[in-house]
């Protein structure tokens, strides 16, 4: 094949597109990896938590995401504003968009000849958010606006990022639903580590300890847990239910734990131990200032039941391992099984109480 100018131009444009796609992640701005006090930094490999409210992500949506629905995102207000405009619907918490985005949304809807459906709107919003981040990166706006605590332009509460933290008690101060994440591919940036490396400080406020941000959204496929909590305003420390994703024979199922421990106390923290791949209560008392993830206690939570993934008819279900009740005590706590039955993408879920597990 003759390598003409048009060939070169085509390859160059492909290269630019690939570079643009690679840059649409705040993680790429992270300082180089280092070990401190036995921990690896940046801390993207650790479990991340986000406190939110039920209207921002309810139980059904969380169950769908953990069971494999790829069309779910944890959305910033910026992402949601774009999505609802593409849907042709009002959004009560809408934020201002620049003229470029408004123009793009109008052109997309005109080309379709209609408002987009929900799946189209979510995927298109993701593309526009990624394009926005790429634009900000090229203008060198990201570090001073979102990352550098000492920048005069730093915005402590931007509407186009999604905050998470490695410290679950800190997340619990922001909402009575705590989302639990494990990044499949690093996208978030460890704000504390960046500022330690560049400014010599870890954080300005204790609630910012362990802080990460994603630009625009977090993909639902990164969601591995959902905690339903109770308590007073800015202190939702009591766990009522903790739901965690597990995989057996390459198919997902969900563990549903009671928040009540063996002494009848309501737990403030339930977390995963990577050494034995089991869950444990944590050593944390409400009101303490946590600057690092709480230590795990020897006590495992009690299992209320599991949610398995089935086909649309409720058959051909995933299954948990047979020795599950050898790992966890069963709980007699009563819940509404209908809350755990969902349907999505020709699939459905089924509730199995712990006392009926093999």
Mean pLDDT over 19-41 rounds to 83
For 277-334, the pLDDT digits (tens) are 999 999 998 878 888 999 999 999 999 999 999 999 989 999 899 889 899 999 999 9
Phi, then psi, of 144 in degrees rounded to 5? -65, -30
Length of the chain: 358
- Per-residue pLDDT, 234: 67
User: Per-residue pLDDT tens for 167-207?
Assistant: 999 999 999 999 999 999 999 999 999 999 999 999 988 88
Q: Do 272 and 175 share a domain, yes or no?
A: yes
Domain boundary, last residue among 112, 135, 159 = 159
Model confidence pLDDT, tens digit, residues 139-154: 999 999 999 999 999 9
Task: Give the residue numbers spanning the domain of 81.
Answer: 77-159
Any idea what the Cα angle at residue 49 is, between residues 47 and 54, rounded to 5°?
145
Where residue 1 falls among pLDDT bands split at 50, 70, 90? Answer: very low
Q: Are residues 191 and 311 in the same domain?
A: yes
Residues 57 and 186 in one domain: yes
297 falls within a domain: yes
Sorting pLDDT into bands at 50, 70 and 90, what band is 124?
Answer: very high
Q: Which of 108, 142, 159 is the last residue of a domain?
A: 159
Query: Are residues 84 and 198 located together in one domain of the fold?
Result: no
> Is the same domain home to 250 and 145?
no
Query: Could you give the 3-state DSSP secondary structure of residue 141?
Result: coil
Residues 6+ apart with CB under 8 A from 341: 348, 349, 350, 351
Strand partners, 41: 34
Specify whether 50 is located in the same domain as 151: no
| pLDDT reading at 217 higher than 60 | yes
Q: Can you give the pLDDT at residue 269?
A: 94
Q: Distance between CA 54 and CA 4 in Å, rounded? A: 57
Domain boundary among 159, 193, 219: 159
pLDDT of res. 358: 79
Integer Cα distance of 236 and 257 in angstroms: 17
The radius of gyration of the chain from alpha carbons, rounded to an integer in Å, stands at 22
Q: What is the pLDDT of residues 45-104, one digit of tens each?
A: 999 999 999 989 999 999 999 999 999 999 999 999 999 999 999 999 999 999 999 999
Residues 200 and 293 in one domain: yes
Q: What is the pTM of this model?
A: 0.90
């Amino acid at each position: 094949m003759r390598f003409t100018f048009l060939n070169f131009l085509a390859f160059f444009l492909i290269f630019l597109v690939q570079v643009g796609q690679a840059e649409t992640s705040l993680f790429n701005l992270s300082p180089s990896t280092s070990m401190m006090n036995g921990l690896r930094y940046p801390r993207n490999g650790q479990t991340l938590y986000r406190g939110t409210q039920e209207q921002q992500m309810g139980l059904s949506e969380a169950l769908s995401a953990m069971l494999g629905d790829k069309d779910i995102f944890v959305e910033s207000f910026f992402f949601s504003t774009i999505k609802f405009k593409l849907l042709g619907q009002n959004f009560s918490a809408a934020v201002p968009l620049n003229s470029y985005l408004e123009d793009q949304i109008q052109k997309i809807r005109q080309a379709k000849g209609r408002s987009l459906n929900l799946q189209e709107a979510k995927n298109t919003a993701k593309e526009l958010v990624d394009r926005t981040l790429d634009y900000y990166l090229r203008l060198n706006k990201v570090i001073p606006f979102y990352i550098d605590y000492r920048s005069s332009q730093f915005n402590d509460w931007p509407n186009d990022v999604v905050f998470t933290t490695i410290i679950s008690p800190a997340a619990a101060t922001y909402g009575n639903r705590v989302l639990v994440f494990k990044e499949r591919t690093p996208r978030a940036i460890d704000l504390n580590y960046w500022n330690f490396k560049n400014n010599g400080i870890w954080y300005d406020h204790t609630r910012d300890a362990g802080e990460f941000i994603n630009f625009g959204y977090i993909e639902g496929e990164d969601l591995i847990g959902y905690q339903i909590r109770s308590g007073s305003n800015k202190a939702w420390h009591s766990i009522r239910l903790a739901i965690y994703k597990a995989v057996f024979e390459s198919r997902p199922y969900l563990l549903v734990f009671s928040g009540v421990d063996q002494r009848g106390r309501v737990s403030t923290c339930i977390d995963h131990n990577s050494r034995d791949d089991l869950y444990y209560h944590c050593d944390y008392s409400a009101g303490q200032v946590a600057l690092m993830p709480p230590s795990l206690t020897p006590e495992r939570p009690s299992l209320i039941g599991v949610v398995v993934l089935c086909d649309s008819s409720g058959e051909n279900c995933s299954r948990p391992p047979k020795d599950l009740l050898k790992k966890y005590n069963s709980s007699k706590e009563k819940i509404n099984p209908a809350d755990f039955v969902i349907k999505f993408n020709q699939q459905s879920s089924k509730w199995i109480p712990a006392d009926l597990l093999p």
